[in-house]
Amino acid sequence: GVKVHFPVKKGVIFDRVVGHVHAVDGVSLKVEAGQTYGLVGESGCGKTTLGRAVLRLVDITEGEVVLDGTDLAKLPPEEMRRFRSRLQMVFQDPLGSLNPRQNIESILSEGMAAHGIGANREERREKIKAILAKVGLPADALSRYPHEFSGGQRQRIGIARALVLEPDVIICDEPVSALDVSIQAQVINLLEDLQEELGLTYLVIAHDLAVVRHISDVVGVMYLGALVEEASSDALYAEPRHPYTKALMSAVPVPDPEVEEKRERILLTGDLPSPADPPSGCRFHTRCPWARERCATERPELLDMGDGHRVACHFASEIAAGELERTGGEV
Ligand code: SF4
């Protein structure tokens, strides 16, 4: 039930709240220990804000973020500090998230010292060397600076920075989207190997459907601050059920020309509406090719259609059975 609403302020000194951006608007999901949950959606759908809310990097307006029975959303800041090392983040832009003036040892040991990991500098150095080896970087990386590494290596440093704090959960925000395609697979394989070895739990936020499919056990699709579909990765890609997911999938080219020619195409019209003024009822109704009058007034709940495949659409069953005509998106 997590909500993150940002106030929109106006006035000479921005002291008048004139509305709220509903960046995340009541999202409920569960990430099982040792698994990977992939969160997809267009930019601006709230997936990164949700990831940041889990880490309390943004204020949570309403709802709970429960880790092993503790609601992090209600923890006072000093108690949250104890949990911080258990939840880490790997950022999209490895260069932008690494201080260019610090060498790698300094970058990696900073958080360790703050969280009391390693009794002294020597102990911390040994641990950093072991982690660098784990992520495939040479030991001499310690004394080098971020600009001396390639994009892929910098992302390995970002992963090492998360790992030195011995986390249980890592939130990966677009972990490979800034990398060349040839390097993306290496970093994804590394994340998978580390998960197996260390029993890590991942929340992977990405817009690239192929990346999410490859790495995730469960996938959630977000649209305009809400979760509209959730299923196991296999089920979601085999049979997407929400019209928005269908449209996202149909935009991905298929290498086989025969399949490509025959498959259903769903083109979305119009832009993503503003989260400061979301549409009434189903938020997707202004762009949905199957929308009916009911869609403009009644917000659909995320309901289980069987085997944990959850869909937020009034007509998901009829659309799946081919019993509902398309309206072209007009209500
Ligand atoms: Fe489309 Fe209506 Fe389903 Fe929303 S509830 S996805 S508008 S058919």
In-domain check, residue 123: no
Higher pLDDT pick, 81 / 48: 48
Q: Which residues pair with 20 in a beta bridge?
A: 7
Q: Amino acid letter at 76?
A: P
Any ligand 1 atom below 6 A from CB of 300: yes
Q: Name the H helices within 199-327.
A: 209-215, 233-238, 243-250, 257-262, 316-320
Q: How far is the CA of 222 from the centre of ligand 1 (A)?
A: 14
Tell me what pLDDT residue 5 has: 95
In-domain check, residue 240: yes
Tell me what pLDDT residue 93 has: 78
- How does residue 265 score in pLDDT terms, banded at 50, 70 and 90? confident
- How does residue 139 score in pLDDT terms, banded at 50, 70 and 90? confident
The pLDDT tens digits of the residues spanning 157-212 come to: 999 999 999 999 999 999 998 888 889 999 999 999 999 999 999 999 998 898 99
The pLDDT tens digits of the residues spanning 277-322 come to: 899 999 999 999 999 999 999 999 999 999 999 999 999 999 999 9
In-domain check, residue 103: no
**Is the separation of the CB atoms in 220 and 39 below 8 Å?**
yes
Tell me what pLDDT residue 330 has: 40
Instruction: Find the CATH number of the domain harbouring 201.
Output: 3.40.50.300
Any ligand 1 atom below 6 A from CB of 223: no
**Nearest Cα residue to 205 out of 221, 181, 191:** 221
In-domain check, residue 114: no
What residues have CB less than 8 Å from 28, skipping those under 6 apart? 1, 2, 63, 227, 302
φ and ψ at residue 257, rounded to 5 degrees: -60, -30
Whether this model's ipTM surpasses 0.95 comes out as: yes
The pLDDT tens digits of the residues spanning 90-104 come to: 988 777 888 999 999
Q: How far is the CA of 291 from the centre of ligand 1 (A)?
A: 5
Torsion of CA 80, 161, 171, 35, to 10 degrees: -110
Number of domains in the chain: 1
Q: Whose CA is nearest to atom 5 of ligand 1?
A: 313
In-domain check, residue 40: yes
In-domain check, residue 211: yes
Q: Amino acid letter at 216?
A: S
The predicted model gives 264-271 an average pLDDT of 80
- Residue-averaged pLDDT of the chain: 91
102 alpha carbon, distance to own chain's centre: 28
Tell me what pLDDT residue 43 has: 85
Domain residue limits at 226: 2-86+167-320
Tell me what pLDDT residue 14 has: 81
Any ligand 1 atom below 6 A from CB of 247: no
Q: Which residues pair with 221 in a beta bridge?
A: 40, 229
| d(C-alpha 284, C-alpha 4), whole Å | 19
Pairing of β 303-304 and β 310-311: antiparallel
Structure tokens at 324: 């509902």
The predicted model gives 124-150 an average pLDDT of 94
Q: Give burial (CB, 10 Å; 0-12/13-18/19+) of 322.
A: exposed
Q: How far is the CA of 319 from the centre of ligand 1 (A)?
A: 10
What are the DSSP calls for 71-87, one per residue? EGGGS-HHHHHHHHTTE
In-domain check, residue 101: no
Neighbours of 304 (CB within 10 A): 11
The predicted model gives 226-231 an average pLDDT of 97
Any ligand 1 atom below 6 A from CB of 288: yes
In-domain check, residue 199: yes
